[in-house]
């Protein structure tokens, strides 16, 4: 059986580390537009809002938009550009039928900003 004795400078060093972590946590900026990147598989498509929005569901999510939530992609500028959105819907359709994963980037809620199709696994 062995016993460990904390030396006074070790406790000070740990206190300094904890203080530094606390300071960083307090002063670090919290951005509402921080992107969350999630990968998963498309489980269902929803075309009711085409050509301005491509609706779909994925098997994964994050705390702001859990797995199985309704997702909407309205183009890279989130403006519902009908010249762009149908191509994203086509990509989601291809991902669904080829069982290829997709990656999405959220900034908040369930609105997708960037949409990526990944190679089949």
| Domain boundaries of the chain, sorted by first residue | 36-117
pTM, two decimal places: 0.69
Per-residue pLDDT tens digits for 2-56: 566 555 555 556 666 666 555 555 444 444 445 889 999 999 999 999 999 999 9
- DSSP string for the chain: -------HHHHHHHHHHHHHHHHHHHHS---TT--EEEEE-EEEEE-TTTTT-EEEEES--BTTB-TT-EEEE-TTTTS--TTTHHHHHHHHHHHHHHT--EEEEESSTTEEEEEEEPPP-
Q: What is the pLDDT of residues 48-105, one digit of tens each?
A: 999 999 999 999 999 889 999 999 999 888 888 899 899 999 999 999 999 999 999 9
pLDDT for the residue numbered 101: 95
């Amino acid at each position: 059986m062995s016993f460990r004795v904390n030396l006074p400078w070790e406790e000070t060093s740990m206190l300094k580390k904890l203080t530094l972590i606390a300071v960083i946590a307090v002063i670090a900026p919290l951005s509402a537009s921080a992107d969350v990147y999630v990968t998963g598989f498309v489980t269902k498509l929803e075309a009711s809002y085409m050509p301005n929005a491509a609706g779909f569901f994925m098997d994964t999510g994050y705390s702001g938009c859990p797995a199985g939530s309704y997702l909407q992609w309205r183009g890279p500028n989130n403006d519902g550009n009908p010249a762009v959105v149908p191509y994203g819907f086509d990509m989601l359709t291809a991902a669904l039928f080829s069982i290829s994963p997709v990656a999405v980037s959220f900034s908040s809620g369930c609105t997708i900003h960037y949409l990526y199709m990944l190679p089949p696994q």
